[in-house]
């Protein structure tokens, strides 16, 4: 069992490299432990995942304010947040090692020790007052940020699961203290709903109530959403109740503009790792029911490529010309459309299967009308999941794909 599962990680890692999703960082110099680079298709997948998150948690709401804060903050932020004192992991000899990356800001004697942010959260807390002053939100409201975070992990491992540079999508949701349980439950459901929407295998997602003593220094209650990775059941995302810990430490409060009432809101924090989302999506999508034809069963909404267009033969100008016309139309409509004329048609299908492209469109001699008018201007559309092909008029393609999506 273990071997089969390890094998699965190896297959995913090798597919990610072969098909241009994710490369090892600084590979030509032997790599650098804990750092990875997203290539063309991995980046498209990443963008689609981030966009779907932003759409659900920010754009479709009226109570959420986006943020893109700096990565290096005044070091006093990390003292106040408790990270300088407490953001540590034990090393093998039992000593505590602070996992924040240190950096120097400024030159020579004047240089100030600072840190690369280990969570995006603090960049939002320190802008709490500015946000309230700029947007005048009523409680409850939230701030949301997608961005890089850095941790000098003692043992980075398992591909993009535990890295030293990674990305987070975080919400700090500010509520009246008495309301925290209600919003904790609410975001628990929202998180699950989003996970399902991007195609996670929900049978592999589990909730863990993190016990006293195991929670982060700021948290009064945490649920870890765990995922059954091939290397074990491990954390995917977290939902924390941070109470008034952060706003208190930064000496921030909220004043209701109508009643004049001053309160320190409590915080519910849904926190998502982008890279863990990507790994879980890849693992959920990987299908090798037919070992000869492994494919990534991405939902079309997040697939890096929606459709590939091919002329049956690339040395027949009439086919190429017709295929170019179809390609241009689909590209203008969907953007994530590729031209694929490399190798024979079987090879192209195998390649697009591994990229997770839901539909391949092939322009052949029938399209040119060589078998009569009935088939003229029809193309073959091949479905990734079933491998089945159907013939369709080229002008019906956009409608067809839209309906399927």
At its nearest, how many Å lie between ligand GAP and the CB of residue 386? 34
140 in contact with ligand GAP (CB under 6 A): no
Cis amide leading into 140 (omega within 30): yes
Rounded distance, CA 296 to CA 108, Å?
Answer: 52
What is the nearest approach in angstroms of ligand GAP to the Cβ of residue 213?
A: 16
Q: Give the ranges where 94-164 is alpha helix by DSSP (H).
A: 121-125, 128-135
Per-residue HEC secondary structure of 205-254 comes to EEEEECCCCCCCCCCCEEEEEEEEECCEEEEEEEEEEEECHHHHHCCCCE
Q: Any contact of residue 119 with ligand GAP (CB under 6 A)?
A: yes
Among 158, 190, 201, 235, binds ligand GAP (CB under 6 A): 235
Measured from the CB atom, is 21 or 327 closer to ligand GAP? 21
- Out of 237, 254, 349, 359, point to the residue binding ligand GAP (CB under 6 A): 237
Distance between alpha carbon 177 and the CA centroid of its chain, in Å? 31
Instruction: Closer to ligand GAP by CB, 276 or 382: give it.
Output: 276
Q: Select from 80, 121, 175, 239 the one that contacts ligand GAP (CB under 6 A).
A: 121
Nearer to ligand GAP, 119 or 366 (CB): 119
CA atoms 144, 146, 148, 150: torsion sign: positive
Write the CA distances from 102 to 25, 72, 73, 115, 152, integer angstroms: 20, 10, 12, 4, 9
| Residue 123 binds to ligand GAP (criterion: CB under 6 A) | no
- Min dist CB 14 to ligand GAP, Å, is 21
Residue 83 contacts ligand GAP per CB under 6 A: no
Which residue in the shown chain puts its C-beta closest to ligand GAP?
273
Distances (CA, A) of 103 to 96, 112, 116, 262: 19, 8, 7, 38
Return the SS3 of 267.
strand
Cβ atoms of 166 and 272 within 8 Å: the answer is no
- Which residue in 117, 276, 382, 394 binds ligand GAP (CB under 6 A)? 276
Nearest by Cα to 56 from 306, 307, 272, 279: 272
DSSP 167-212: EEEEEEEEE-GGGHHHHHHHHHHHHHHHHHHTT--GGGEEEEEPPT
Please tell me the count of residues contacting ligand GAP according to CB under 6 A: 18
CB of 78 to ligand GAP, least distance (A): 13
Distance CA 72, CA 118 (A): 10
Residue 273 is a binding residue for ligand GAP (CB under 6 A): yes
Contact string (CB under 6 A) for ligand GAP, positions 194-233, x = contact: ----------------------------------------
Residue 167 Cβ vs ligand GAP, minimum distance, rounded to whole Å:
8
Taking residues 142 to 171 in sequence order and writing x for each that binds ligand GAP by CB under 6 A, - otherwise, the string is ---------x-x--------xx--x-x-x-
For ligand GAP, which is the closer residue by CB, 19 or 164?
Answer: 164
CA distance 300 to 321: 27
> Which spans of this chain sit near ligand GAP (rule: CB under 6 A)?
119, 121, 151, 153, 162-163, 166, 168, 170, 235, 237-238, 269, 271-273, 275-276
């Amino acid at each position: 069992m273990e071997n089969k599962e390890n094998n699965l990680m190896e297959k995913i890692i090798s597919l990610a490299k072969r098909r241009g999703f994710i490369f090892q960082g600084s590979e030509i110099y032997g790599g650098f432990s804990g750092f990875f680079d997203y290539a063309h298709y991995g980046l498209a997948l990443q963008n689609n995942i981030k966009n779907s998150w932003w759409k659900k948690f920010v754009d479709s709401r009226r109570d959420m304010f986006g943020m893109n804060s700096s990565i290096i903050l005044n070091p006093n932020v990390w003292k106040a947040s408790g990270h300088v004192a407490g953001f540590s992991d034990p090393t093998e000899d039992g000593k505590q090692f602070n996992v924040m990356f240190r950096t120097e800001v400024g030159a020579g004697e004047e240089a100030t020790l600072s840190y690369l942010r280990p969570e995006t959260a603090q960049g939002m807390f320190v802008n709490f007052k500015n946000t309230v002053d700029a947007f005048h939100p009523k409680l409850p409201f939230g701030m949301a940020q997608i961005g890089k975070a850095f941790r000098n992990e003692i043992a980075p491992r398992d591909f993009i699961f535990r890295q030293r540079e990674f990305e987070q999508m975080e919400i700090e949701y500010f509520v009246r203290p008495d309301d925290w349980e209600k919003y904790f439950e609410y975001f628990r459901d929202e998180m699950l709903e989003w996970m399902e929407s991007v195609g996670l295998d929900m049978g592999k997602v589990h909730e863990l109530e993190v016990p006293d003593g195991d929670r982060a220094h700021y948290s009064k209650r945490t649920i870890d959403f765990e995922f059954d990775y091939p290397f074990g059941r491990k954390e995917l995302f977290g939902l924390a109740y941070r109470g008034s810990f952060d706003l208190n430490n930064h000496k921030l409060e909220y004043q209701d503009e109508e009643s004049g009432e001053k309160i320190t809101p409590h915080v519910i924090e849904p926190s998502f790792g982008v890279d863990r989302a990507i790994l879980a999506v890849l693992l959920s999508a990987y299908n090798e029911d037919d070992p000869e034809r492994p494919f990534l069963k991405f939902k079309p909404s997040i697939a890096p490529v929606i459709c590939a267009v091919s002329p049956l033969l690339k040395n027949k100008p009439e086919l190429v010309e017709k295929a170019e016309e179809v390609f241009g139309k689909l590209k203008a409509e969907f953007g994530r459309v590729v031209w694929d004329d490399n190798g024979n048609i079987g090879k192209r299908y195998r390649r697009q299967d591994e990229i997770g492209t839901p539909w391949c469109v092939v322009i052949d001699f029938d399209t040119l009308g060589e078998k009569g008018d009935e088939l003229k201007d029809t193309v073959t559309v091949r479905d990734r999941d079933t491998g089945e092909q159907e013939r369709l008029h080229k002008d019906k393609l956009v409608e067809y794909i839209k309906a399927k999506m």
